[in-house]
Amino acid sequence: MLQPAEIERLLVVMAHPDDVDFGSAGTIATLTDQGVHVTYCLVTDGDAGGSDRTITRTEVASLRRKEQTAAAAVVGVHDLRFLGHPDGRVQADLALRRDVSRVIRQVRPTVVLGQSPERNLDRIFASHPDHLAAGEATMCAVYPDSRNPFAFPELLEEGLEPWTVPQLWLSGHAVPTDFIDVTDHVERKLDALLCHASQLPDPSGVRVRVRQWMEATAQHFGLAEGRAAEAYRVVQTA
C-alpha cells in the first residue's frame, strides 16, 4: 500500500475537469488531510463535454472550471492550473510537454499523478484519446523534459530551473501495482464528483457505480469486504 506520509508535494495532471475526481479524489482527500500540498493541472477546460446545445462552448468551459474548483475544495485542494488546450483534440506534442514541464518546475513535486498513456481495453472509458495524450505528455514531461535544462530553453528564461520528479503514479492503468485505502474518504470523493453536475445526468447512479469500483479495487488488493481503494501503476523515475 502506498504511504502518503512519504509525499511532500503532489502534482495531478489530468485531461479534463472531473477526471481526477472519478479516479483519485479519495487519494487526494487522504493526502491533504495529512498535510500534503496538492496542485491540479487541467490540460483542457472540458469545453467539449456534455450534450447541451443551448449554451456556447465558452460558457461550458467557464462552468466546468467552476465545477472543478468547487470539487477540488471538497478534498482540500485550492491550487489549480488550467492549460487551456482544446478539449477533444489533445495531442502529446511539444507544446503540451512544455506546458506540463513548466508546471512541474513551478510546483517542484515529489510525486506526479497522471493518466495512463496505454489503452485499457477492459475499461475503455479510462482510455479517452485525450487521456492517453495527456498521459503520454505527462510522462515525457516527467522524464526527460522537466529535468533537462536544454529541453525547453524558454523555461530557463522564465527563471524555472530543472526539477527531477522521483515518482509517477498512473491512474487508469490496466495493470496497477499499488493502491491507497480510501475507505474513510468515500463520501468526500462522491461529494466532489457531484460538483460536476453538468456532466452527470444520473448522479445517484454515479454514486453507486463509483462506490462499486472502489470496493472491487480493494478486494483485488486483498482488503476486507467493505473497504474502498484507488489503484495506480507506480513508476520510479529517479
pLDDT in tens, 203-217: 999 999 999 999 999
Identify the weakest region by mean pLDDT among 11-15, 51-55, 72-76, 157-161: 51-55
Q: Is the pLDDT of residue 49 over 90?
A: no
For residue 150, the model assigns a pLDDT of 96
Cβ 3 vs Cβ 78: under 8 Å: no
C-alpha cell at 150: 536544454
Question: Is the pLDDT score of 69 beyond 90?
Answer: yes
Evaluate the omega torsion of the peptide bond into residue 176 and state whether it is cis, within 30 degrees of 0.
no
For 26, counting Cβ atoms within 10 Å of its Cβ (0-12 exposed, 13-18 middle, 19+ buried), the class is buried
- Find out whether 91 and 134 touch, Cβ atoms under 8 Å: no
Crossing angle between the packed helical segments 19-33 and 186-194, to the nearest 10 degrees? 140
pLDDT band at 48; cut points 50, 70, 90: very high
Contact, 192 vs 21, CB < 8 A? Answer: yes
Residue-wise pLDDT for 77-121, tens only, equals 999 999 999 999 999 999 999 999 999 999 999 999 999 999 988
Taking the CB of residue 211, how many other CB atoms lie within 10 A of it? 15
Q: How many CB atoms lie within 10 A of CB 138?
A: 33
| CATH no. of 4-236 | 3.40.50.10320
5 band by pLDDT with thresholds 50, 70 and 90: low
Q: What are the tens digits of pLDDT across the range 178-196?
A: 999 999 999 999 999 999 9
d(CA 20, CA 74): 13
Strands 178-181 and 229-236: antiparallel
Local structure of 109: helix, strand or coil: coil
Residue type, 1: M
For the cut 90, the answer to whether the pLDDT of residue 3 exceeds it is no
Q: Is residue 144 reached through a cis peptide bond, with omega within 30 degrees of 0 on the bond before it? A: yes
DSSP label of 129: H
Q: What is the mean pLDDT of residues 14-18?
A: 98
Cell of 21: 475526481
- For residue 130, give the C-alpha cell: 485525450
pLDDT of 122 strictly over 90: no
Sorted by sequence, the CB contacts under 8 Å of residue 66 that are 6+ apart come out as none
* Residue 39 bridge partners (DSSP): 11, 79
